[in-house]
Every structure is written in structure tokens, then in C-alpha cells.
Amino acid sequence: MQNFDFVKPASVAEAVAALGTSGAQALSGGQTLIGSMKQNLAAPAVLVSLTGIAALKGVSVSGGVMSIGAATPHAEVAKASGFPGLSSLAGGIGDPAVRARGTIGGSLANNDPAACYPSAVLACGATVVTNRREIAADDYFQGMFTTALEDGEIITAVRFPIPERAAYAKFEQPASRFSLTGVFVAKYGAKVRVAVTGASNDGVFRWTDGEDALQASYDPAAVKGLKVSPDGLIADLHGTPAYRANLVAVMTARAVAAS
């Protein structure tokens, strides 16, 4: 790890100003960034910690929407009431140490293709709020480790419309607890959204065939006969594209059953 300066601002405005420094990078939970720095895969000259900004922390529910501050750790989301499907997802991320340090904003800014939160954000049609604007979930995710965030833009909160039924089902890699394939299903009246993480080289995506089937019949059996194309899905030592394609339907059925 190379030497770096550390800044811990007390407000979003101070953080934005600090990020204007050459070589500066935002630090939230640090679950990916610190490991990358230890392996010399990342070498920011300045780390701008967001963990001291009180305005970026906390969970609240109002008008059918759950709002989560970007610097809120997974463990706090796991304990929150009002949206059981999302709390259950947060409680299954990593291990207790990861849940104590990792944050929802850090996860979404990093956009790891196997991270759990992106599936909930996309399935719920959540809004990613930054210091500059509000970004719809369908516009936010733009590929593996790629998002709509611009230089100097900081996620401040995420707003989830609470569905009438929702659940997350994850087939996890046992060592990392990342998802080999994870599916979040959210039902809003007659509308159903299904988002898949861990399966695609392009990161999280909506499974529209699954959505159509569940809108016709919200039942696990509705998706069990559907086939998912393996094209563009991840191939690694944990599973082939065909294996992950099968898991998409299996995990969707399990999520529906659990919702």
C-alpha cells in the first residue's frame, strides 16, 4: 500500500471540496477499496472519508418509502423495520465485520457485479440521490463496476418505494458470501419487477420474461419452465454460464415463495 493523506469531512459540502483535490477518492465502508489498495490495485493520493457525515446516516420510513442514508452500514439496514425483504438482504451480506463497516452507498458506487444491493435497487425502481441530482435505478447501473455517477458526485441517500410483497434469494459463494446468482423480486399491485445480480458480465439486470410470467401469475410455478439464455453470463471456477442461467429461474422461484 502506498502513502496517502486522509481527510474526514463533517459535511457533504466539505467532502465535495476535498474530492476536488488531485488524486482524491471517496471512502465509505472501504470493503473493496482498502483491499484494492493493499494489493496496489488502487493508489489514491487522498482518501476522503464519508463516515463522519451525520447527514449521510440513518433509515426512515414515510409515505410508503424507505430512505437510507448512503453511509448507513448494512447492519443498521438489517435491523430496520418497514421493509422486511430489504432488511433480510442486508442481514445476509458478508459476515458481521463486513456488515458493521460496509455501507449501501459504497456498495452502489462500486457496483460489483455480484453485490446484493443493486438487485434490490433495480427491482424496486429505487431512486439514487446524490449531491447534484436524483437518478432512477433503471438509469443508474451502466455495466460492471460502472454507474451514472460523475466525477465529484457523491451518493447521499437511496429511496425505496416499499412493495406489497418482496424477497431476495441468493445462491452464494460460501467463502465470500457474494452471490453466484441472486434475485430480488418486488410486487407493486399488478406490476412485478425482477432483478438479477451475480450472473451477468454486465452486472445487475432485469429479467423481463420472469416479470411477464409473474405479472400473469404471481406464483413460483410461473417461472419454473422458463429458459434463460446463457449468452453474456459469467463463466468462472464457480459455475458456467448455463449453470447461472438455470439459477436465475430457480432463485426467482425461491424469492417469490419467500415473499
Q: Domain extents for the chain?
A: 5-49, 55-161, 165-258
DSSP string, 172-211: E-TTT--EEEEEEEEEETTEEEEEEESSBTT--EE-HHHH
Residues in contact with 171: Cβ distance below 8 Å, sequence separation at least 6, in sequence order: 179, 180, 181, 182, 198, 247, 250, 251
Q: What's the pTM value of the predicted model, to 2 decimals?
A: 0.93
Instruction: Give the pLDDT confidence score for residue 131 in this predicted structure.
Output: 94
One fold for 55-161 and 165-258: no
Cell of 59: 433509515
Task: Report domain 55-161's class.
Answer: alpha beta
Strands 46-49 and 24-27: parallel
Q: Closest by alpha carbon to 32, among 88, 87, 112?
A: 112
Q: Tell me which residues of the chain have a pLDDT lower than 70.
A: none
- State residue 119 phi and psi, 5-degree precision: -65, -40
CATH architecture of 165-258: 2-Layer Sandwich (3.30)
Counting residues of the chain whose pLDDT is more than 70, the rounded percentage is: 100
Please identify which residue in the block is written with the cell numbers 417461472: 223
Gap between the Cα atoms of 242 and 240, Å rounded: 5
Which grid coordinates are listed for 107?
456498495
Q: What is the pLDDT of residue 7?
A: 85
Q: Quick count: other Cβ atoms within 10 Å of Cβ 34?
A: 15
Burial (CB count within 10 angstroms: exposed 0-12, middle 13-18, buried 19+), residue 238: middle
Q: According to the CATH classification, is domain 5-49 in 3.30.43.10?
A: yes
Q: Could you tell me the end-to-end alpha-carbon distance of the chain, in angstroms, rounded to an integer?
A: 44
pLDDT of the residue at 218: 97
